[in-house]
Chains A and B, each alone.
Chain A
Amino acid sequence: MRKWFQLAALIGILAPIELVSAHAVVTAYSLKSIPIHAHQADKVELTFNSKIELGLSQVYLVRKGDKHALLKVESGHKQGEVIVYIPALEPGEYAIKFKVFAADGHLTEDIIHFSVS
């Protein structure tokens, strides 16, 4: 009987799961008002609701076919602002995929879609 209880407890202990924690979210981004133009290197400002540990964060450019390329990032002047440098792009559909480590210890992944015309 004791074994069954242990088994039940084990199943129970294994029960509570949660996938990648999501506390840091983008509250504003420049792409909303300033589009990226074709064949011009540019930068995008992402504003997070939380402090971000930039050294432990990654931002990718995703192209057609879901090809990823790591982008250069740096802190902005405002609180929670991250500047992402975008290379010159052909017209088309793209996305910025980020994995950020927030100051409260949560790792967050998210995607922002955008078009280049």
Chain B
Amino acid sequence: MNRFAEKLKRSWFKFAESKISIVGLVIVLAVVLLAVFAPLVAPYYDHCGAYVNFADANKAPCSQYLLGTDLMGRDILSRLIGSLRSTLLMSVIVLSISVPVGFIVGSIAGYYKGSLLDTILMRITDIFLSIPSLVLAMAIAAVLEPSLKNSMLAITVMWWPWYARLAYGIASSMKAENFIIYAELTGAKLPHIIFREFLPNCISPVLTKMTLDVGYVIITGASLSFAGLGEQAPKPALGNMISTGIDYLPGSWWMTIFPAVTIILIVLGFNLLGDGISNIFNMEDN
């Protein structure tokens, strides 16, 4: 317990060494708390749906509506807070599916490096990597019905190959190490080797990549939503709020600018946090 506390303290020291990571941590914590307590925090939570009040439509930021209202008279601030849940949910779901899938595919291919199985698995991975990710995600989202769920699916499909590559690199270089050979000699089965031997060695690079990927998933999700392939109206999403607002530039700038700034802030927060976390791992390696 003491050693764990010691390690935690050291990690925090390394993390906090760059003050800017703390800024990231604060932003991320704020975003998560806002998302969790959205119904309590948002001034008009019922505006996150098919609410209409034309009397207050298209209002500039004022004391009643801090960030203004949209064409239906809905409070932009409440809708922004309401959109955080789906934004965070998307990165959690995408990463929690694509990371294990990618890890297992990559480590199996790496373990059987040089075999037919390796060639097949890694070529499939290469094929997925051979299309710009957003193009592929859009094509998949196009075939399916546009919805939040399907946009998550589309992003997951294009995300796992990166982790397969990462795990493949580590597994194939570890394969020839003595302790793996020893484990094989003592009769260890494939699952044992993958989860007991490869996994511990993959954790730090995979976690580093994951923390830096959260921002990218959010950007990709927002892009899909901007194209109309994500969360559907009347539910709020950062991308679709911008694409609606863009037709009313420059007059009703608040409909576009505030969601845009929100995306930047969230992604910035996760990127800074990710940098800080990768500092912890990088220093441990040295």
The yes or no verdict on A and B being binding partners is no
Chain B residues with CB under 8 Å of chain A are none
